[in-house]
Structure 1
Amino acid sequence: MSDRRGSDRWGPDRWGSDRWRPVAFKTRVDEVLHGFVAQEAEQLSAIDPALGPVAGQLEAAVADGKRLRAAFCYWGWRAVGQPDSDALVRAAASMELVHAAAVVHDDLIDDSPLRHGRPTAHIALRAAVRRRPRAVAAARSLAMLVGDLLMSLAGQLFATSGLPAAYLARARPLWSVLARELIAGECLEILRTGADPDTTASLKVIRYKTAKYTVEQPLLIGGALAGAGRRLREGYSAYGLPLGEAFQLRDDLLGLFGDPERTGKENADDVRGHRPTALLAETWRIAGDGERERLSALLGRRDLDAEGLDVVREVMSRLKAPDRIEAMITARVEEALDALHELDTPPYAAAALTALARSAAVRLS
């Protein structure tokens, strides 16, 4: 099989009819998610009116999002040469429920107060239990169960997408891999939190906590549904892993240096939590004794104020740690695009995956 991206066998007129339209695609995914979760939330509330706030958090969990994971799953299918399909869009939308579950659990573990500019699930649910004993712990327990249910609903949406059973069977083993790697990454972050910063360890956390389930696994699942061959699947991994890492490295930068009005999150979260980000690890690696002493006095402080946060930013900027992370992002995007250009995919799919690589790594939120 040829490695040329623009082989004539894909047809000269496909580019016009298959141009990547991210806004229209997001609308399709949103319609699936909002309708599906609304029905599930209604059925949950019908069990008992007291479950209303929990059902509300199910819907809140899918209210926003870039829908990148659904897009990578969709193009994992289309890059094999398969046509657009509403059933495939439903299957791809299940990737967003995986993400929603991961976000609820991650916010709970990190005790993050905001997501998309709104209170996170474990904060919002305090209102439902404010008159109960140990209300804060009760709200956290409810949020944990919201995340659990979202993960279950992801599997249900995938299984009922409308794709043939034989197609679904090809992809089903990848779900257990996705879950295992996602949980491994979250566990590694917990185990590394508060430890001496280490870039290699931080990049491993990034790979398993974010990179794989954001880009690689959605691509592989879409490819498996479409019957992708070994060479194409290997190419998906060669493209997806570095791109997924670039995505999270961008998140690390935005988490500390981004505009909270755009990110919808507090800038101090990573510093207060002493999380093992690559940005912190690179700063620590090149910092002198005096700079490490200043950082040690601030990392992990739950009462960190704006002045303390500015000190952390100043140290990082002076050591040019953000520039190092930018360079890491650029290198990973280039690696991903080089791998993509080696694949024999339809030109419209290659164009879409190129655009997705740019939007994943170059963004403000």
Structure 2
Amino acid sequence: MTAPAAAAPESAPPHPGDPGPPALRHRIDRALADFVERESALLEDIDPDLSVVAAQLRRTTGTGKRLRAAFCYWGWRGAGRDDGEDIVRAAAALELVHAAACVHDDLIDRSALRHGRDTAHRSLADNRPGTGRALALLVGDLLISWSGQLFTECGLPAAYLNRARPLWATLARELVAGECLEVLRTRRRDALPPDPARSLQVIRYKTAKYTVEHPLQIGGLLAGAPPALLTAFSAYGVPLGEAFQLRDDLLGVYGTPETTGKSNLDDLTGARPTVLLALTLAAATGSERAELHAALDRPEPGAAELEYFRKLADATGARRGVEELIAARAARATAAVTAAHADRLLTTDAAEALHALAARCLTRTA
């Protein structure tokens, strides 16, 4: 039985950092909804028991900031190409990569909430006890497959797509590398030294490159951008992507679930090797470090452990240090766009959009 087509997502009020043609974010949502509805219905046609999986696929892909798609779109426009639904669909494919990464990341971290709702493995466990983690793993795998399918079906000429295919492989390899590095460096004293460089390496590959740099470059490659522009996209994308994740790490500890949509105990419970943790350990005294390690070793840290970490990160200057890292990377990203525009590598509307997207990444509260 084929499910009825999903209703078009309601257009959200324009965000001050949502640059682009009218309702670009809504168009990305629509492209995703159309594709996911079609594919989910085909899944349900196989057997009615799969309706619970199809429903989760729709939920998982129905929310998000759509930043990766926006960066891909502006990589295309920055190279001088015109607006069109084909590039919107190609850009939307990157949101399926992100959705898959979130499902798998939540599985690895055993996170309970994302966007204020149950994570995929929690939601699926409610529907069929004992199968939540297995079903969520398969949902994430299917989303990865869907990303390539939507990209190749976007409507752009095959010659354009072929220019970007090698970077898709790089994106996948580096994303998995970052995830693996985080797993290998979590809950290991020898993998949690007071050295932020190791933590920065994790976020560079786990988040920064596939959030900003690679989407921009994929859009640029689709458009036939010259090497100099692709280099400028890297000069902007890597520091901005790192700043984006550094901001996320601060929000993960100092934010509130009502605002961020996830537990502010996640990083502490998972003992994730964040830059904030590395800087805190580096500046703490021996007794403070021992007490922090004891908090990280608890199976279920609570409000008291979170408050201790917050106070220690403040007292040691670690929180301020992360803010300084964010500011330095924001300045580098801004300078890269300004220089690319001055050198006439980047169109004016794209330069303005990239500045606005940077502000959106860095001033967010969720």
Q: Same fold (TM over 0.5)?
A: yes
The alignment status of 1:173 with 2:170, answered yes or no, reads no
Any stretches of 5+ residues in structure 1 without a counterpart?
A: 1-18
The alignment status of 1:144 with 2:137, answered yes or no, reads yes
What secondary structure, in the 3-state scheme, does the structure 2 residue paired with 1:299 have?
helix
What secondary structure, in the 3-state scheme, does the structure 2 residue paired with 1:297 have?
helix
2:113 matched to which residue of 1?
A: 114
Matched residue type, 2:330: V
The alignment status of 1:269 with 2:266, answered yes or no, reads yes
2:181 matched to which residue of 1?
A: 188
The 5-angstrom pairing of residues 145-164 of structure 1 reads 145-164=138-157
Matched residue type, 2:196: T
Give structure 1 regions of 4+ aligned residues with deviation exceeding 4 angstroms.
none
Q: Is the 8 A contact 1:249 1:278 kept in 2?
A: yes
Write out per-residue CA displacement over residues 38-65 of structure 1, whole angstroms, 9 at most, x where no aligned residue: 1111111111111111111111111111
The alignment status of 1:50 with 2:49, answered yes or no, reads yes
Query: Deviation of residue 22 (structure 1)?
Result: 7.9
CA distance in 2, matches of 1:86, 1:200: 41
The 5-angstrom pairing of residues 23-102 of structure 1 reads 24-102=23-101
CA distance in 2, matches of 1:176, 1:97: 15
CA distance in 2, matches of 1:325, 1:23: 35
Query: Deviation of residue 23 (structure 1)?
Result: 7.5
What secondary structure, in the 3-state scheme, does the structure 1 residue paired with 2:298 have?
coil
1:280 matched to which residue of 2?
A: 277
Matched residue type, 2:180: C
The 5-angstrom pairing of residues 294-333 of structure 1 reads 294-333=291-330
2:210 matched to which residue of 1?
A: 213
Q: Is the 8 A contact 1:271 1:300 kept in 2?
A: no
Over aligned residues, Cα RMSD in angstroms? 1.2
The alignment status of 1:238 with 2:231, answered yes or no, reads no
Q: Is the 8 A contact 2:186 2:271 kept in 1?
A: yes
Query: Deviation of residue 294 (structure 1)?
Result: 1.4
1:351 matched to which residue of 2?
A: 352
- Structure number with greater CO (CA < 8 Å, separation at least 6) is 1
Matched residue type, 1:284: L
CA distance in 2, matches of 1:327, 1:224: 33
1:225 matched to which residue of 2?
A: 222
Percent identical: 55
Matched residue type, 1:218: P
What secondary structure, in the 3-state scheme, does the structure 2 residue paired with 1:342 have?
helix
CA distance in 2, matches of 1:233, 1:312: 40
Q: Is the 8 A contact 1:88 1:163 kept in 2?
A: yes
Query: Deviation of residue 21 (structure 1)?
Result: 3.9
Segment of structure 1 superposing worse, 214-223 or 22-31: 22-31
Query: Deviation of residue 139 (structure 1)?
Result: 1.5
Query: Cα gap change, 1:207/1:298 in structure 2, threshold over 3 Å: closer, same or farther?
Result: same
Q: How many residues align structurally?
A: 341
Matched residue type, 1:87: D
Query: Deviation of residue 28 (structure 1)?
Result: 0.7
Matched residue type, 2:351: A
Query: Deviation of residue 154 (structure 1)?
Result: 0.4
Matched residue type, 1:184: A
Any stretches of 5+ residues in structure 2 without a counterpart?
A: 1-17
Q: Is the 8 A contact 1:202 1:276 kept in 2?
A: yes
Query: Deviation of residue 360 (structure 1)?
Result: 0.8
Query: Deviation of residue 321 (structure 1)?
Result: 1.2
Segment of structure 1 superposing worse, 104-113 or 49-58: 49-58
Give the alignment's TM-score, normalised by structure 2: 0.91
